[in-house]
Chain A
């Protein structure tokens, strides 16, 4: 008997579920299909403007930083500002994400950009995020040709340019969006990112930048 059959057989006999179980199977399939929501914390029952405020508070609480700009046109300057403040080189690896194309990256003489996946030597990445969750200050990035996952982890500094309209209330809202966009098959990787990388493994002392980015900066782009 294969291990698979053996294990499933043992499960069924432990549960006393031998024999036909077509009814149970249908119930389970139904349970999955309905995407039933459990309790979603009430803290996100707010207006969109308030939601943006909550999101920014939550990001700050987990040691991320937030800036707000009026439109995509101002994004490159906001990136430069941040890099200057932290004495970082004005060279970034930019996600090949068409939603970032609206910003005039090439116009800036000071900012050097390359597009693609991250290399070990890249210090700063700039990406977007398909969504964000106000409840916990979480960014949602999905892998694809427009957003290689290495951009979220290899560089020491990760800057996320986020259109304000993408701030959702809860994870549940984001799952519905992703299902609508991708159908049955999700992208290979969905990264839910809540603050910069950290470790508390040595005497429970909070230390940022354990393996992933030491700094996470979100530039919220107000709706045009």
Chain B
């Protein structure tokens, strides 16, 4: 179920860089998100202080995660909600199925949730004769195309409007074939109309959670479209899929993280809809779900606590690391082969699918450090990628020469000034080595890295210099 193709990183990357349409789409997306983020944080002088506070909130929660989860559970139940604990993906899927069956659900509406992707929920529901309908526009498009999201907040960022038009014409075949469908506004209107009907058919609505609030037993979702809201207030049952680390102490703490999240993600001050849900509808309410379930998914996270990967559990899934990653920006999300992509994916995927399956991923980095610079939760992503690399190394997936080269690489990469100096130095040398193809098959300093993909020969400037010149800004 939802198998990882991370093993194919180099094959994926090779075809991705040749795909002109994809490159154009990625470039547009990258420039858009980077510019918007910059503009949003420039108007909030307190941004860096909020980052420090956000990090401290999550660190304290992680150190006391057992207590916060128990308190969350008590308060969610007191408000009439049900809390379910799932050790792994299979348990979580079965809990969802049991709830669906208990109300004879045929159709399930889904707001955007990465946890559903992580546990491979859609395929599973289909196998069990329950139709999952994605309602987030980007997710809906890729569901029609049978693709995976290529970005955690912009799942269809790899597609052009022409591709979306083709998909809609093919799938919405009961609509007038001569209708105009060229502009995004027409495409959005069509999706709105088609999905509107579906909202009223579903017995169950599933959303994710950006935060769980221990104080009140609530879950919080953040969207721009309003689909997550219609998905939870129209059906009889609302199921929230959340991983353990989503819990925060109070509404105040959630507010601090909200101020970081939208700015880092899309450059908005707030997403359009931030919704705090607590329990099922009350006796006198005129709408809202009759049942409210929260599924708390572990799936290996408890094992990350107390390790060098604990910091990764601070992640609020904003996507800034991939929006600023030169590797992601040139190969796109699908190349990473699994649900989580970009730098955060390169750290998380080996955790979920095993470092032997995903051993290329921690190497899919130029160690330029921009991901860490922009991460609102100050997660040391490059350091964690190096941890994985070292583990792959100890696991014997690396040869002796590569071992020495990697040690040197690690030494250099940890010293940004030296890295930048060295990275600029060998331009001439590297270009001669590359010959006319302009690509290097092996790099003396990092054979393990180039063994998995061609290293583009420097074109006279270092990657970071070129990046800056092309309008990619340094945070």
Residues of A within 8 A of B (CB): 2-4, 6-8, 10-12, 14-17, 21, 24-25, 27-29, 31-32, 35-39, 41-42, 58, 62, 96, 116-117, 120, 135-136, 138, 143-145, 148-150, 152-154, 170-172, 175, 184-205, 207, 209-213
Contact = CB atoms under 8 A, between A and B. Distances in A.
A190 B232 CA distance: 13
Contacts of B270: 136, 138, 192, 194
Given A39-B49, A187-B282, A196 B234 contact: no
B394 interface: no
B224 A197 contact: yes
B188 A199 contact: yes
Contact of A32 (B50, B71, B269, B303): B71
Contacts of B33: 204
Contacts of B395: none
Nearest to B56: A38
Given A7-B298, A175-B255, A212-B229, 7 more contacts: A10-B303, A35-B250, A143-B281, A152-B229, A171-B255, A186-B218, A189-B278
Interface in B149-168: 154-157, 159-161, 164
Given A11-B65, A38-B256, A199 B224 contact: yes
Contact of A120 (B188, B196, B288): B196
A223 B252 CA distance: 29
Contacts, number: 261
A210 B286 contact: no
A143 B224 contact: no
Contact of B192 (A6, A21, A192, A209): A209
Contact of B252 (A175, A202, A212): A175
A62 B125 CA distance: 38
A96 B44 CA distance: 38
Contacts of B115: none
A196 B273 CA distance: 9
B250 A32 contact: yes
B170 interface: no
Nearest to B44: A41
A127 to B, nearest CB: 13
Contact of B286 (A39, A117, A154, A191): A117
A158 B270 CA distance: 19
Interface stretch (B78-86, B359-367, B368-376): B78-86
A138 to B, nearest CB: 6
B272 A198 contact: yes
B3 interface: no
11 contacts: A7-B302, A14-B303, A21-B66, A29-B71, A149-B233, A154-B230, A185-B278, A190-B275, A198-B225, A202-B184, A203-B28
B187 interface: yes
